[in-house]
């Protein structure tokens, strides 16, 4: 499947909150929707989910207008919204029924996901008796138990401890593996880098950057090496002008030109005890600050230039 936003614009009265938004998300891949608070991410998601209509533009699925009667959505919102006093299993079955799944299939699917997330022992408990992390896992099950075609995860890792975060990572990977369209919105750039092939960065309702993460990183100047070495102090003393020491074992070395990479790396490996050496690429966090940040924040990543 291929989901396309075509020239989407949204205005509330005289205020334009989305202006000419275009992107494509494909099945079997995760698409990262990024931006600061107020950038337009939530509005984009709400238009996709048909909560309200775009002012102009269209959403296509495989080249045709998206038919909400034939396409199933799963949505994990940032703000949770289940029933705190109801039994977990009962309300999950009820919600799956509302999304078109029969009771037998719903019970089978929910039991599977409860087991997958180590939650089976809580199935007959009230939601409000669970920890925040376990409540979040229940919310997650509610978004995927009905086997949706398109899944939207909005800040799914918020408040999770490392063990539960790892379980959730496995769920996200499973959705991608099942060839679903996965749209991922988060401020935690490490998860975006792990799951997403393509990203879009919004700022004030405008697209600031979109494309494949690897290609975006490779478009930056590649004239710096990151070196991890027990000889960092020695390297620094012998290459004062070209090096910047990050910590006791890490250096950034600036080459005269990008085409010297192989020669310079071979020399360092020959002359010093090198643990790792490679091209210094910007992190997704650096890229996000550059395109979504203000002038002060952008200045803080100029060490990459």
Length of the chain: 305
What gap in Å lies between CA 36 and CA 41, rounded to an integer? 8
What gap in Å lies between CA 213 and CA 228, rounded to an integer? 24
Are the beta carbons of 222 and 258 closer than 8 angstroms?
yes
pLDDT confidence of residue 190 = 85
What gap in Å lies between CA 170 and CA 180, rounded to an integer? 15
Q: How far is CA 107 from the centre of its chain?
A: 30
Tens-digit pLDDT string for the chain (305 aa): 999 999 999 999 999 999 999 999 999 999 999 999 889 999 999 999 999 999 999 999 999 999 999 999 999 987 778 889 999 999 999 999 999 999 999 999 999 999 999 999 999 999 999 988 888 889 999 999 999 999 999 888 777 788 888 888 888 888 999 999 999 988 888 888 888 999 999 999 999 999 999 999 989 888 999 999 999 999 999 998 999 988 989 999 999 888 889 999 999 999 999 999 999 888 899 899 989 877 665 555 555 44
Q: What residues does 15 pair with on adjacent strands?
A: 12
Q: List the one residue out of 238, 220, 230, 239 whose CA is nearest residue 279.
A: 220
Are the beta carbons of 219 and 204 closer than 8 angstroms?
no
267 contact partners, CB below 8 Å, separation of at least 6: none
Q: With H, G, I as helix, E, B as strand and everything else as coil, classify residue 38.
A: coil
Are the beta carbons of 176 and 28 closer than 8 angstroms?
yes
What gap in Å lies between CA 4 and CA 25, rounded to an integer? 7
pLDDT confidence of residue 304 = 45
Are the beta carbons of 292 and 208 closer than 8 angstroms?
yes
């Amino acid at each position: 499947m291929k989901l396309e936003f075509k020239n989407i614009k949204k205005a509330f009265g005289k205020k334009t909150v989305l202006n000419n938004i275009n992107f494509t998300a494909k099945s079997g891949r995760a698409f990262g929707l990024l931006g600061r608070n107020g950038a337009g991410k939530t509005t984009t998601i709400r238009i996709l989910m048909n909560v309200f209509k775009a002012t102009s533009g269209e959403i296509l699925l495989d080249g045709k207008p998206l038919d909400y009667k034939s396409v199933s959505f799963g949505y994990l919102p940032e703000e949770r919204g289940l029933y705190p006093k109801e039994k977990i299993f009962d309300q999950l079955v009820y919600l799956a029924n509302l999304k078109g799944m029969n009771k037998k299939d719903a019970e089978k699917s929910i039991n599977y996901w409860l087991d997958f997330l180590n939650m089976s022992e809580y199935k007959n408990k009230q939601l409000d008796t669970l920890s925040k992390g376990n409540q979040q896992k229940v919310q997650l099950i509610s978004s995927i138990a009905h086997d949706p075609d398109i899944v939207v995860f909005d800040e799914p890792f918020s408040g999770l401890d490392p063990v539960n975060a790892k379980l959730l990572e496995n769920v996200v990977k499973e959705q991608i593996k099942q060839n679903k369209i996965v749209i991922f919105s988060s401020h935690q750039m490490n998860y975006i880098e792990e799951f997403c092939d393509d990203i879009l960065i919004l700022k004030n309702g405008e697209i600031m950057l979109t494309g494949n993460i690897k290609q975006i990183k490779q478009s930056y100047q590649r004239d710096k090496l990151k070196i991890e070495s027990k000889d960092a102090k020695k390297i620094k003393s012998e290459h004062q002008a070209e090096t910047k020491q990050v910590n006791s074992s890490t250096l950034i070395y600036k080459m005269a030109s990008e085409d010297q990479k192989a020669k310079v790396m071979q020399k360092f490996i020959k002359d010093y005890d090198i643990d790792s050496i490679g091209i210094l690429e910007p992190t997704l966090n650096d890229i996000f600050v550059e395109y979504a940040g203000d002038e002060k924040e952008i200045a803080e990543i100029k060490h990459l230039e």
